Amino acid sequence: EKAKWPKETVELWERLSKKEANDVETVQKSIVHHVTTTLARAAYNMDNFSAYQAVALSTRDRLISRWNETQGQLSKADPKRVYYLSLEFLLGRSMDNALLNMGLKGTYGKGVEQLGFNMEDVIESEVDAALGNGGLGRLAACYMDSLATLDYPAWGYGLRYNYGIFQQRIVDGYQTEYPDYWLNFDNPWELPRLDISIQISFGGHVQSIQDEYGVTRHNWIPAQSVQAIAYDVPIPGYDTENCNNIRLWRSKPTKTFDLTSFNEGNYEKSVEDATNAEKITSVLYPNDNTMAGKELRLKQQYFWTAASLHDIVRRFKKSRREWSDFPDQVAIQLNDTHPTLAIVELQRLLVDEEMLSWDDAWEIVTKTFAFTNHTVLPEAMEKWSVPMFEYLLPRHLQIIFDINLFFLQKVEKKFPNDRGLLNRMSIIEEAQPQQIRMAHLAVVGSHKVNGVAALHSNLIKTTIFKDFVDYYGEDKFVNKTNGITPRRWLHQANPKLSKLISDTLGSDKWLKDLSLLKKLTTKIDNAEFRKSWMAIKRHNKVRLAELIKIRCNVEVSPDALFDVQVKRIHEYKRQFMNILAVIHRYRTIKSMTASQKASVQPRVVIFGGKAAPGYYIAKLVIKLINSVAAVVNQDPAVGDLLKVVFIPDYNVSVAEVIVPASDISQHISTAGTEASGTSNMKFVLNGGLIIGTMDGANIEILEEIGEENIFIFGCLAHEVEDLRHAQRYRGVPMDPALQGVISAIEKGVFEDPKIFQPLISTLTVGKDFYLISADFASYIAANQAVDTAYKNQEEWSKKSIRCTANMGKFSSDRSVKEYADDIWGIKSYPIVDEGHM
């Protein structure tokens, strides 16, 4: 239409859509404009929260111009894009990050202060977007930051839950869950695209008919449908014009479906259907590393993958290319098995709707998808019961059976007469009822499968996917070690350290090339530099001590060693072992003379993390931590030598305070169980040392920073099987120190011991699956080594600097580049600033 406009009209638009300037006064005007118009408030009558809203709206305007410019230029150029399908995006707060990435923090800070507000208070008024559980969801968020920063054409696809991960409160030492209704106030970080609505169907039956060529065609006649509405979340890169997108889908009742029941006079049914439709995107499932198997979760997965694929295919069709070009235009990354149905849905679209042959379609599908595995824990493997699946997605079930049939035929051809092998590799598990193994489907439908750290990627090749490696060959299975974004996890969370590093290195280039941190090594022998380094750590500890005072009502000394374990509560992560060692420490201190006590290194042991609401043992661990804290913190015989706190409602914004303040943090999973871990990287990047097992990315961190700068203990992954076997069948006795700790709990030193009996039972000889007893002695020794090392503050500060200096590898920029080069085949496409609004 624009072409038909007279020249004057086009010029008028051009002139009026020039980008706003970014000086302090223009920014202030835009803030005040939003206060008085969008918020309809009087200019002076405001609190921090409304100030936040106005600053957020003003920031959002600038984000949207970048988003428009980026998406406009990409539409024209139409390069290959990657689509990152993730049921979780754990973004946390957006404002500070957006301002820093766009280079506007200074201007906004000045503008806001002049308007009479404290920028930090304004920033802290924002509630977290908590659309994720833990590591997997936060990884997706870090990858989106890196993709945008590196100018890769990338979109995320996810769900817009009304309720994110629950809020955790501690009542009488127990975790209690509260709904996280994060959309209570408008969310300025999303752009509702109410015009983008896709119909998604469920249920019904399949009609099979012969077409005019005698080919059998399958028609899915669904029973019900809902609408998917798009909400776009702009993701600005750091120091670039590029602004990528996360499209989140929200479910709504379809208008027609509503009307039918309504017109038939069945008002109740129409209300019920509407509610059922809305329910699909109402809540995030709060399980981490475990599978719940609920029908609504399966509905979420199909709703999301179908809407996303429809959107991707529609965008592809605009280019009017051949279907065979699809994999040259589109790469789709499956974040865990949650989006595996996308494989089946694309095959269905190509065969049933686009009328491609099965084989042509399957070639396109398998060239398009790649799959990331995040765990080897059996309880986390996704399986769906065939009857439930058939009821919801009858045509998709047929397609899965066909995929499986053709796949097993090829396996049989390559390895004839091996029934056991076919049984093990089948996508369908022969159980009562039959189960669909989503991991097998994801492997079969993808051209690359990756683990998330070197050890983990090797483990999946020898355990859960061993047969698949034998069949497909090694090349399909690759490693992509996780990474974290240094923008949020150092620059934003630790501004003082970021500034010291930039001042020392003479520029802030390291924020886009983390390997430059290596140059900090030259400063290690500079006492002045070490002093500044440690002063920043202390400043961060004071800040954390304030948070602990507010949230836990416990006073802790910032001069003590801060020892942190914050992550989801899980048996394999062994928070239980940590608190047992704390009890051991407590008993040791209690048994000391005054002069012995004088040489004890004071320690504050800090826990945080959520337990899945149905995970009874994990919840008991929280209770035990709080019971121990209650006793230890009150004991005058201990004083400041030991404090224990459980910080409630651990989330991204709390992590941003905790991570920069840690002296030592704990990454102590049983070897072979933690796929990677990413908080280990965050702590070390901030100059915190770590104590850990030879597990996940700990191993690669050790390789980078050197064994003198990390406290390693415990058995190795290849020893685990034998150790389990030995304790089960040869009755290896419990570690004596651990025995003493258990006796103390059983004697009632910490509340009624009956409460903790189920927890203690997990340590029964022969049942100690996570090998707490086997690792206990070396764990205690490693903790002693930490105390000793910390007493030498000069040496400690050198270790701390070496840690940060050698963390270049763990930038998510490195991870994302590897994915782009080795898996997606995409190139960066820098966006030109054309000055448009």
Q: Could you give the residue numbers annotated as active site?
A: 374, 567-568, 573, 678, 682
CB 626 within 8 A of CB 524: no
CB of 279 to ligand GPK, least distance (A): 22
Q: Any contact of residue 674 with ligand GPK (CB under 6 A)?
A: yes
Beta-bridged to residue 561, according to DSSP, are: 603
* Between 11 and 703, CB nearer to ligand GPK: 703
> Distance (Å, rounded) from C-alpha 296 to C-alpha 760?
35
Q: How are beta strands 205-210 and 216-221 bridged, if at all?
A: antiparallel
User: Site size for ligand GPK, by CB under 6 A?
Assistant: 18
Q: How many Cβ atoms from other residues are within 10 Å of residue 551's Cβ?
A: 16
- φ and ψ at residue 644, rounded to 5 degrees: -130, 130
- Least CB distance to ligand GPK at residue 372 (A): 7
Whole-number Cα distances in Å, 539 to 243, 556, 605, 661, 743: 34, 14, 18, 8, 40
677 binds ligand GPK (CB under 6 A): yes
CB nearer to ligand GPK: pick between 464 and 741: 464
In terms of CB distance, is 338 or 802 closer to ligand GPK? 338
Q: Which stretch binds ligand GPK (CB under 6 A): 134-142, 306-314, 406-414, 515-523?
A: 134-142
Q: Shortest approach of ligand GPK to residue 815 CB, angstroms?
A: 10
Structural tokens at position 146:
């890196």
Give the residue with the Cβ less far from ligand GPK, 288 or 735: 288
Q: Provide the minimum distance between the beta carbon of 139 and ligand GPK in the complex, in angstroms, as a whole number.
A: 4
Binds ligand GPK (CB under 6 A): choice among 53, 71, 162, 289: 289
Of the candidate spans 21-29, 127-135, 647-655, 685-693, the one that interacts with ligand GPK by CB under 6 A turns out to be 127-135
DSSP β-ladder status, 191-202 and 224-236: antiparallel
Of positions 441, 444, 452, 759, contacts ligand GPK by CB under 6 A = 452
**Structure token pair of residue 12:** 């008028």
> Could you say which of 131, 380, 628, 684 contacts ligand GPK (CB under 6 A)?
380
Comparison of 141 and 501: residue with beta carbon closer to ligand GPK: 141
Cβ proximity of 672 and 682 under 8 Å: no
Smallest separation, CB 647 to ligand GPK (Å): 19
Using the contact rule CB under 6 A, the part of the chain among 41-49, 593-601, 676-684, 700-708 near ligand GPK is: 676-684
What letter would DSSP give residue 766? T
Per the CB < 8 A criterion, the answer to whether 198 and 227 are in contact is: yes
Q: Which of 125/678 has CB closer to ligand GPK?
A: 678
Whether the CB-CB separation of 278 and 229 falls below 8 Å is answered with: no
Applying CB under 6 A, which part among 221-229, 325-333, 581-589, 670-678 lies near ligand GPK? 670-678
139 binds ligand GPK (CB under 6 A): yes
Q: Which of 34, 297, 374, 476 binds ligand GPK (CB under 6 A)?
A: 374
> Over 532-560, what HEC string results?
HHHHHHHHHHHHHHHHHHHHHCCCCCCCC
Told to check if 815 binds ligand GPK by CB under 6 A, we report no
How near is the Cβ of 822 to ligand GPK at its closest, in Å? 17
* In the block, residue with structure tokens 């600005």: 236
Within 594-633, the residues that bind ligand GPK by CB under 6 A are none
Q: Which of 614, 563, 513, 682 is nearest to 135 (CA)?
A: 682
CA distance 220 to 632: 64
Least spacing, CB of residue 134 vs ligand GPK, in Å: 4
Closest CA to 79 of 70, 89, 88, 68: 70
Asked if residues 713 and 782 have their Cβ atoms less than 8 Å apart, the reply is yes
Q: What is the largest CA-CA distance in the chain?
A: 95
Amino acid code (one letter) for 179: P
Contacting ligand GPK (CB under 6 A), which of 104, 346, 629, 675? Answer: 675
452 or 664, CB closer to ligand GPK?
452
Under the criterion CB under 6 A, does residue 482 sit at the interface with ligand GPK? yes
663 and 563 Cβ atoms separated by less than 8 Å: yes
Put residue 355 in one of left, alpha, beta given phi > 0 → left and psi -120 to 50 → alpha. left
Q: Does 288 bind ligand GPK (CB under 6 A)?
A: yes
676 binds ligand GPK (CB under 6 A): yes
Distance (Å, whole) CA 827 – CA 143 = 16
Stretch that binds ligand GPK, among 592-600, 674-682, 729-737, 828-836 (CB under 6 A): 674-682
Residue 509 gets which letter from DSSP? G
Q: Is 652 in the site for ligand GPK (CB under 6 A)?
A: no
Instruction: Output the six-digit token pair for 498.
Output: 């970021």
**Quick one: tokens of 623?**
């209770």
Do the beta carbons of residue 538 and residue 558 sit within 8 Å? yes
808 makes contact with ligand GPK (CB under 6 A) = no
Nearer Cβ to ligand GPK (374/395): 374
Single out the residue of 375, 446, 457, 662 in contact with ligand GPK (rule: CB under 6 A). Answer: 375
* The residue to which tokens 């992509």 are assigned: 480
Under the binding rule (CB under 6 A), the answer on residue 678 touching ligand GPK is yes
Label the pairing between strands 561-566 and 664-667.
parallel
Q: Which is nearer to ligand GPK, 220 or 465 (CB)?
A: 465
The correct pick among 74, 136, 647, 782 for binding ligand GPK (CB under 6 A) is 136
Per the structure block, which two tokens stand in for 652?
A: 């991204």
In the complex, what is the shortest distance from the CB of residue 678 to ligand GPK, in angstroms, rounded to a whole number?
A: 5
Give the separation between CA 723 and CA 707, rounded to whole angstroms. Answer: 25
Task: Give least dist CB 676 to ligand GPK, A.
Answer: 4
The binder of ligand GPK chosen from 92, 173, 696, 808 (CB under 6 A): 696
Q: At which residue do the structure tokens 């930039």 appear?
A: 502
Residue 85 lies near ligand GPK (rule: CB under 6 A)? no
Which helix (H) or strand (E) element contains residue 449?
strand 448-451
135 contacts ligand GPK (rule: CB under 6 A)? yes
We find the least distance from the C-beta atom of residue 375 to ligand GPK, in angstroms, to be 3
Q: Tell the smallest beta-carbon distance from residue 380 to ligand GPK (Å).
A: 5
Q: Quick check: helix, strand or coil at residue 755? A: helix
Return the number of the residue (58 or 133) whose C-beta is nearest ligand GPK.
Answer: 133
Q: What are phi and psi of 140, to 5 degrees?
A: -60, -40
* Segment contacting ligand GPK by CB under 6 A, of 71-79, 99-107, 130-138, 550-558: 130-138
SS3 84: strand
Q: Which of residues 454-473 bind ligand GPK (CB under 6 A)?
A: none
Q: For residues 241 and 649, which CB has a smaller minimum distance to ligand GPK in the complex?
A: 649
> Which CB, 377 or 785, lies closer to ligand GPK?
377
3-state secondary structure of 827: coil
**Closer residue to ligand GPK in complex, CB, 134/158:** 134
Residues in CB range of 710: below 8 A, 6 or more apart:
689, 690, 691, 692, 698, 701, 702
Measured CA to CA, the distance from residue 770 to residue 551 in angstroms comes to: 31
Length of the chain: 837
Residue 134 interacts with ligand GPK (CB under 6 A)?
yes
Tell me which stretch binds ligand GPK (CB under 6 A): 93-101, 498-506, 675-683, 824-832. Answer: 675-683
Structure tokens at 56: 């957020």
CB of 576 to ligand GPK, least distance (A): 17
Q: Rounded to 5 degrees, what are φ and ψ at 66? A: -65, -40
CB of 701 to ligand GPK, least distance (A): 12
Pick the stretch among 129-137, 143-151, 193-201, 622-630 that binds ligand GPK (CB under 6 A). Answer: 129-137
List of residues contacting ligand GPK (CB under 6 A):
133-136, 139, 288-289, 374-375, 380, 452, 482, 674-678, 696
